[in-house]
A and B are shown apart, each in its own frame.
Chain A
Amino acid sequence: MTTDANLELDDMKEIIGDFLIETDELLHSLDTNLVKLESAPDDLNLLNEIFRAAHTIKGTSSFLGFEQVTTLTHKMEDVLNKLRKGELKVTPVRMDVLLESLDLLKQLVEMVRSGHIESVDLSGILAMLEVQMEGGAAPGTTIASPAATVAQPTTAPIRVMESAAKDQPASFDKTTAASPVRPGAEKKVVDQTIRVDVNRLDSLMNLMGELVLSRNSLVQTVGTINKDEVGGLHAEKLNQAAASVNYITTELQMAVMRMRMQPIGKVFSKFPRLVRDLSRDSKKQIDLILTGEETELDKSVIEEIGDPLVHIIRNSCDHGIELPKVREAGGKPAKGTIKLDACQEGSNIVIRIQDDGKGLDPDAIREKAIERGLGTRAEIEKMADRDIFRFIFEAGLSTAKVVTDVSGRGVGMDVVRTNIEKLNGQIELDSKRGAGTTITIKLPLTLAILQGLLVEADHEVYILPLSSVIETVRTEQSDVSYINQRPVLRLRDEIIPIINFASCLRGQGNAVALAEKPYVVVVGLAEQKLGINIDRFLGQEEVVIKSLGSYLGTTEGVAGATILGDGRIRLIIDLIGLFNLARRKR
């Protein structure tokens, strides 16, 4: 790094922080655009955009003295310049070399981020770029994975500054990778964004939570005021003030939440490259169609959802989509399609991954499940296909080789399930042999403030996260039957196990709970459903989860506590824990 006599060290740090943010955005757009270029090799706008990204990285890195970054981008720029002038054509090999260079570039930037800049042997990749620039594929030039020669930074990369604003489409970013339309034309609006430290947003969110609790308390207290004691006029004024505080708090809460929202396109945009690489490796032809990239999710959810989606898409490519010949033999187009869609439904975000591959074989999974002892043969054979598919989220089952071979779902579905559980989300899988598989993921918009459903059971009030509640039913004893003395609810064509809080959380009563209360709340977590037997519904309230502290903090099935409007402390149910408890009781 060059030091500059006219700049303070702190200034330099800030500038490098900015460089990293800017470069991340550019690398991101390069990633997306280079893959796009393969299918649109004559798109001059796209080529110019790619060229400019490389050019900018070259310029800024040279300023700050990151010579290796400059050298590499310089050579990439040379090739890109010839492409954009039409002196070279876009070929698969050329694209491979450019993408390899990009990968290496990313590693170099990671080194800058971690502060451990080591010398990397760039000669291999530079030579390959040189060959590409000369216009020829030198015979025998293979891609000898130059990335492998890079020493990985020893420490985990430290983000100099995480910026919530950096992925907003309206930042300095010129490319807006998430945008489905060709950028360039629409980028005329003057940018009006600032970057804010995430910690500040988090503390704002905390304060917001406290405000919501106080608001609840205020509204409830005002509601119980005795007009005759206070006087009609005062009571009226107080009422108005409380109503207005109530309204403003709700608006403010929405505004704060929106500040933390990021478009899911940020996650989606890395998938075209993933699918491209996978299909090239496996000699398959796969189209990836992205829709709903502008759908916004809380930052914390965005950070967690990437991995499960990678797993699912990888599975679709590896095992779902068949080889072109097989597809044609089956009367399908040679090119397979994976659709990835996101949209908002109420206070949930729904992500759907759909492929037109070979689908799952329910009978193979049935056999495997019986073999694993997940139920008796009679029970499992009676189960509907949709319930059978749930088994692939079981750890033991999804990693089993036979499932991989026969049904074509590889490892990692249990990992997917764990991730979705963590986010209090739900996952559902539907598949038709020969026609493909659809996976639907439902996630809450935000994790910080939750809509709670207040229910009463055995004279105790519990709060359930409303986003996980699928439905509430009034039960007749005739709807309840017992399998192995465990109560289950027959709800339309589904069979849902029933538990009650007392036996699950407090260990009271029979381990085998009797389902004799009048209501059942059906909750969903990842792929499973559970019915909770309760006495009464009390209402709905916005709650903020407070930890129980180390003394009580590890109680299974309890996520924490909250203060309700009436000032009382109530427990918030942790569904992951509850499902685990229920599984063990059963």
Chain B
Amino acid sequence: MSQTILVVDDSPTIVKFVSFSLRNSGFEVVAASDGMDAIEKMSHLSGDVDLVITDLNMPNLDGYGLIGTLRQNERYRQTPIIILSSEDGEDDRQRGMEVGANAYLVKPFKSALLLDEVGKFLKK
């Protein structure tokens, strides 16, 4: 069974870019447009999400909020989370890691880099 990755970004372009790359590598992708949407989508999923890729700066519920919420939930305490951010600041990276992210990628990136990062957490 293929593994499911949740992609959260308020830019449809980036969601599509990331989703295409992931799907081409054989992953299932669930897309969400912000933190609230992500939680909503996850609550409707029958199976588990194996990995979360999220933006930080989003309306309604931002990336920090989403990660915090997920980490409080028994089911997602261990799920790997990769942050995609266009902020290349040490503050953001540190804060992201503190709330519980596992990796931090700065946009833009080649899809190969993203797939490498995903590969560190998920075995095909």
Q: Which of B8-16, B45-53, B63-71 contacts A (4 or more CB under 8 A)?
A: B8-16
Bound: A191/B37 CA distance, A: 9
Given contacts A7-B21, A62-B86, A187-B59, contact A15 B16 (CB under 8 A): yes
- Most-contacted residue by chain B among A22, A62, A63 (CB, 10 A): A63
- Flag if A15 contacts B108 (CB, 8 Å): no
In the bound complex, residues from chain B placing their C-beta under 8 Å from that of A23 are 13
Q: Which of B24, B33, B59, B86 interacts with A7 by CB under 8 Å?
A: B24
Bound: A441/B55 CA distance, A: 46
Q: Which of A113-156 contact B (CB under 8 A)?
A: none
- Flag if B37 contacts A55 (CB, 8 Å): no
A interface footprint on B20-43 (CB within 8 Å = 1, 0 otherwise): 110011000000010011001000
Bound: A177/B115 CA distance, A: 37
Given contacts A5-B112, A62-B86, contact A187 B10 (CB under 8 A): no
How many contacting A-B pairs (Cβ < 8 A)? Answer: 79
Tell me, rounded to whole Å, the shortest Cβ–Cβ distance linking A57 to chain B: 9
Tell me, rounded to whole Å, the shortest Cβ–Cβ distance linking B108 to chain A: 4
Q: Which of A5, A6, A7, A59 interacts with B14 by CB under 8 Å?
A: A59
Residue of B nearest to A20 (CB): B13
Q: Which of B16, B36, B37 interacts with A14 by CB under 8 Å?
A: B16
Bound: A498/B10 CA distance, A: 60
- Flag if A60 contacts B33 (CB, 8 Å): no
A188 contacts partner chain B, Cβ-Cβ < 8 Å:
yes
Bound: A187/B86 CA distance, A: 23
A87 contacts partner chain B, Cβ-Cβ < 8 Å:
no
Residue of A nearest to B37 (CB): A190
A174 contacts partner chain B, Cβ-Cβ < 8 Å:
yes
Given contacts A22-B13, A59-B11, contact A187 B111 (CB under 8 A): no
In the bound complex, residues from chain B placing their C-beta under 8 Å from that of A2 are 108, 110
- Flag if A64 contacts B59 (CB, 8 Å): no
B interface footprint on A33-54 (CB within 8 Å = 1, 0 otherwise): 0000000000000000000100
A19 contacts partner chain B, Cβ-Cβ < 8 Å:
yes
In the bound complex, residues from chain B placing their C-beta under 8 Å from that of A59 are 11, 14, 86, 107-108
In the bound complex, residues from chain B placing their C-beta under 8 Å from that of A63 are 13-14, 17, 107-108
- How many B residues, CB 8 Å from partner? 25
Tell me, rounded to whole Å, the shortest Cβ–Cβ distance linking B18 to chain A: 9
Bound: A63/B17 CA distance, A: 9
Bound: A52/B20 CA distance, A: 24
- Most-contacted residue by chain A among B11, B20, B86, B110 (CB, 10 A): B11
- Flag if B16 contacts A187 (CB, 8 Å): no
Tell me, rounded to whole Å, the shortest Cβ–Cβ distance linking B14 to chain A: 6
Q: Which of B17, B20, B24, B86 interacts with A58 by CB under 8 Å?
A: B86
Q: Which of A18, A19, A56, A65 interacts with B10 by CB under 8 Å?
A: A56
- Flag if A190 contacts B40 (CB, 8 Å): yes
Residue of A nearest to B34 (CB): A174
B interface footprint on A479-493 (CB within 8 Å = 1, 0 otherwise): 000000000000000
Bound: A363/B60 CA distance, A: 59
Tell me, rounded to whole Å, the shortest Cβ–Cβ distance linking B69 to chain A: 15
B3 contacts partner chain A, Cβ-Cβ < 8 Å:
no
In the bound complex, residues from chain A placing their C-beta under 8 Å from that of B21 are 4, 6-7
A509 contacts partner chain B, Cβ-Cβ < 8 Å:
no
In the bound complex, residues from chain B placing their C-beta under 8 Å from that of A157 are none
- Flag if A22 contacts B111 (CB, 8 Å): no
Q: Which of B13, B57, B59, B107 interacts with A184 by CB under 8 Å?
A: B59
Q: Which of B12, B25, B40, B115 interacts with A22 by CB under 8 Å?
A: B12
In the bound complex, residues from chain B placing their C-beta under 8 Å from that of A188 are 36, 60
In the bound complex, residues from chain A placing their C-beta under 8 Å from that of B108 are 2, 59, 62-65
| Listed A/B pairs (5) with beta-carbon separation below 8 Å | A2-B110, A5-B110, A11-B20, A63-B107, A191-B33
List A residues at the B interface (Cβ < 8 Å).
2, 4-8, 11, 14-15, 18-19, 21-23, 52, 55-56, 58-60, 62-65, 172, 174, 184, 187-188, 190-191
Closest 5 pairs (CB-CB, A-B): A59-B86, A6-B111, A62-B108, A63-B108, A60-B13
